[in-house]
Structure 1
Amino acid sequence: MGSLNAKKLDHVVIATADLDDSLAQWERNVGLKTDASLNQPLGAGFKVSRLPIGDSFLELVQPVAEKGRFYEQFQERGEGLFSVSIEVEDLEAAIEHLRGRDVRVSDSEPSIWPGARVARINKGYTHGVSIQLIERS
């Protein structure tokens, strides 16, 4: 049945209503600084900044459009931990492995960021935590 073949914790997404204020708090309180704000992908409906930690990062995300998956989930859940992203060696094999264990997982899809594909594990199978699997090329 294979395995998940997780490579590493890729990143953690934290939702915020005010990206600039959040960045200032993370720097002042924790000492983490952004490496760069990223241009939001066309139509994504949010702006984002990354705080590097070794070969992983925290991704702070603020909705800027009142539509889309992120906005809807932000309205439901509010600020705070949004999702955890795990990099896998082979996304299709990881999906097959999880489905073989009767875990609900989405089909793979291109990421909004170039060079990656993602799938999402239904949070009912991960103790309420939204998990994204990511394969980077």
Structure 2
Amino acid sequence: MTASVVLLASDPKTAQSLAGGLRTHFNAVHVTGSRDELREKVARNRPGAVVFDIESSRLADVESLHREFPALPIVCTHRIPDEEMWMAALDAGAVDVCPVDDVNNVLKSVLRSLGTSRSAAA
């Protein structure tokens, strides 16, 4: 198993579903529903990655999180396919954007980004 992940999701059902899928591969999944608590959990737990619900937040939050923790992979999730939003999230510092209901895709993206960030750090 790998380190931990911090998950920002405003919907409790979504958070439960994503956390359940992530827990199969991570020692800990720290779930939060607020941006302020997200930063606190990232600073305290030093996760390997963040899963970020882009629809309940602003792109500026992705940008500032990326600036504050530049080596931390951020995988954004969304409910509605919106190519402009995806591109804006990637430009803001996200490593990927996945449909929120595709837990396997989110998991693969987080694991892939961890592999990439580890090899870049080596």
Fold shared per TM-score above 0.5: no
Report which of the two has the higher share of helix: 2
Given the two structures, how large is their TM-score scaled by the length of structure 2?
0.26
Larger radius of gyration: 1
Report which of the two has the higher share of strand: 1
Given the two structures, how large is their TM-score scaled by the length of structure 1?
0.24
